[in-house]
Amino acid sequence: MAVYLKSVAVLVALLGVLTGSRFASLVMHDEQFQRAAVMRERNAGNVLFESEYRVAEAAHVFLIYSAIGSFLTALIGGSLLWGVGVLHSKLDAATTAASRTGS
């Protein structure tokens, strides 16, 4: 069971980092947000461009928070599962040692 937990921990950490990296690259190359920001600057005070910017900003913020959430899931989820796996292996070792000395 300890090996299984450690394997899942590595998988969660790897997938979290890969997903976070993908979201981070989407944030860096968010052309819709960049275009809306430029159009808003060129047409200051225009409600149409302001509303387009707000919609693009919401999508951009979603990508940022998704990247942060993915990295935190990788860090916390992977660490938690790895720790439970270590505790489980120590418990197995202690149980095995106790059964050998008790028999």
Mean pLDDT of 27-31: 96
Cβ atoms of 20 and 74 within 8 Å: the answer is yes
Distances (CA, A) of 10 to 22, 71, 83: 18, 13, 12
Q: Encoding tokens for residue 6?
A: 């450690």
**Domain assignment of residue 18, yes or no:** yes
Query: Residue 10 is part of which domain span?
Result: 2-98
Q: What is the pLDDT of residues 85-96, one digit of tens each?
A: 999 999 988 888
Q: What is the pLDDT of residues 33-51, one digit of tens each?
A: 999 999 999 998 899 999 9
Q: How far apart are CA 31 and CA 11, in angstroms?
A: 32
Helix 47-102 with 31-42: angle, nearest 10 deg: 150
**Domain assignment of residue 103, yes or no:** no
Q: What is the mean pLDDT of the chain?
A: 94
**Domain assignment of residue 71, yes or no:** yes
Q: How far apart are CA 93 and CA 99, in angstroms?
A: 10
- pLDDT grade for 102, boundaries at 50, 70 and 90: low
Q: What is the pLDDT of residues 62-87, one digit of tens each?
A: 999 999 999 999 999 999 999 999 99
**Domain assignment of residue 44, yes or no:** yes
Domain total in the chain: 1
Write a three-state SS string for 64-83: HHHHHHHHHHHHHHHHHHHH
pTM above 0.85, yes or no: no
**Domain assignment of residue 78, yes or no:** yes
